[in-house]
Amino acid sequence: MPSRRAFLAGLTSASLTPTLGWADVGNPIALSAALRPDGQHVLVGLTAAGAITFEIPLPARGHAAAAHPDVAEAVAIARRPGTFAKVIDCARGAVIQTLHAPQGRHFYGHGAFSSDGTLLFTPENNIATGQGWIGVWDRSAGYKRLDSFTSAGIGPHEILRLPNGLLAVANGGIRTHPSTGRDKLNLDTMRPNLVLFDASGQLTDFAELPADLHQNSLRHIAAARDNTVVCGFQWQGDPFDAPPLVALYTGDGTLSQAQMDDTALFGLDGYIGSVSAFGNDHYAASAPRGNTTFVFDAAGAQTGAVRATDVCGLCAAPQDTCVVTDGTGRVHWLRDNTLTQIATHPLAFDNHLVALTYT
């Protein structure tokens, strides 16, 4: 914690353009939004050992963030149906710019940078039509709004840059309107999907579950080194009638459901909060409403389940480890199907750990 201040105090010039990398801000492996006991919302950097490297105030509750691939800069994006995004210099601990969704659009709390860090992509809702869009912002031009392209679905929630440079978008399928808050307006006809785009917005692949599972809303995604995408769902039907809530996309236009039996699905409220690909072909999925995190092998077979109250954030770390955070301020290591608490902070960690590197 003191290293950043000490380092900054020693800087000879106070350039307004951040050039410090993530290593210069304490080598966090992930970013997380969090709530302090005094009610202040913050964005923190978290190391693999569970230490907090920086803590920066946010103007409202965060959700996830887009992390620049090299520079210690993050864009914290308002949770839906928010319309602002804060560009944060994580070295100086300051908000350096505020982005506003174009008129008639709102954000979904997630975003991603292109591989070279020049472009920022933000999932957006066209409020009038309910169609999903991906906003494109030019970081090198002071985050000038460049363009947007259709997300090929409704309710684009998370966007992710894969190791191969493609963008994966989870279209949750659920239409909402700010006038009715988070009320779900199309549960009978919703049709979620996973779409792959190249950095120019050209659609390269499209995958969805069978029609009878159309109420399984695809919400969160994470990428493995081989570009497999692990998908976490939120079932909109009877929670005790839920199908498997995790699936794998391996690039062939299909989503293959993980194997989760009824006993595993019981008590989850049909709700997966975060997913992660970690270690040697392992996947994790957190179920905050079931206080459980599940582990899957490369074939999608469930190999373990570990319990932690209000668990949600997941991020791959070195040595076949997944770092796990929860709403009670604890940081855990998930390794060999065992959960070990490694740190506690006076914070409620919010939904997601945003990975800074591919391990």
Partner 1 sequence: MRLALALCLTALPAFADVQRAIETHILPGHTALAQATDELASDAAENCAPDAVRPAFHAAYDAWISISHIQFGPIEDQALNLQMHFWPDPKDSTGKALARLTAAQDPIVDNPGAWGEVSAAAQGFTALERLLYEPQTDTDYACRLTQVVATGLADKSAAILADWPAFATLMTTARANDNTRFQSEDEARRALYTALSTGLEFLHDQRLGRPLGTFDRPRPRRAEARRSERSQRHIELSLAALEDLATTMIDSDLTGTRAAFAKARELAASLNDPALAGVSDPIRRIRVEALQRTVRDIQNAVNTEIGKPLGITAGFNSLDGD
Whether 153 contacts 192, CB under 8 Å = yes
Identity of the residue, 204 or 344, whose beta carbon is nearer to partner 1 in the bound complex: 344
Task: Name the segment binding partner 1 (CB under 8 A); options: 115-123, 127-135, 163-171, 342-350.
Answer: 342-350
Pairing label, strands 119-126, 131-138: antiparallel
| Torsion angle, alpha carbons of 323, 328, 330, 331, to 10 | 10
Q: Which of 236, 246, 231 is nearest to 168 (CA)?
A: 231
Q: Within 13 Å and on the Cβ side, how many CA atoms surround 50? A: 20
Identity of the residue, 151 or 274, whose beta carbon is nearer to partner 1 in the bound complex: 274
From residue 185 to residue 224, what is the string marking binding to partner 1 with x (rule CB under 8 A)?
Answer: ----------------------------------x-----
Q: Which of 327, 328, 325 is nearest to 342 (CA)?
A: 325
Tokens, residue 94:
């300051």
Task: Name the segment binding partner 1 (CB under 8 A); options: 16-24, 65-73, 89-97, 261-269.
Answer: 261-269
Q: How far apart are CB 115 and partner 1 at their closest, in Å?
A: 27
Sheet holding 73-77, edge to edge: 65-67, 73-77, 84-89, 94-100
Identity of the residue, 72 or 78, whose beta carbon is nearer to partner 1 in the bound complex: 78
Q: Which residue among 73, 89, 124, 350 contacts partner 1 (CB under 8 A)?
A: 350
Read off the DSSP letter of residue 139: G
Identity of the residue, 272 or 316, whose beta carbon is nearer to partner 1 in the bound complex: 272
Q: How far apart are CB 288 and partner 1 at their closest, in Å?
A: 4
Whether 137 contacts 146, CB under 8 Å = yes
Q: Is residue 332 a contact point for partner 1 (CB under 8 A)? A: no
Tokens, residue 83:
């319309």
| Torsion angle, alpha carbons of 287, 227, 29, 40, to 10 | -50
Q: Is residue 40 a contact point for partner 1 (CB under 8 A)? A: no
Q: Which residue among 5, 100, 144, 307 contacts partner 1 (CB under 8 A)?
A: 307
Q: Is residue 289 a contact point for partner 1 (CB under 8 A)? A: yes
Q: Is residue 351 a contact point for partner 1 (CB under 8 A)? A: yes
Q: Is residue 63 a contact point for partner 1 (CB under 8 A)? A: yes
From residue 87 to residue 116, what is the string marking binding to partner 1 with x (rule CB under 8 A)?
Answer: ----------------------x-------
Q: What CA–CA distance (Å, rounded) separates 170 from 178?
A: 20
Q: Is residue 263 a contact point for partner 1 (CB under 8 A)? A: yes
Pairing label, strands 321-326, 330-335: antiparallel
List residues binding partner 1 (CB under 8 A): 35, 63, 79-80, 109, 182, 219, 238, 240-241, 262-263, 266, 271, 273, 288-289, 291, 307, 309-312, 326-328, 341, 344, 348-351
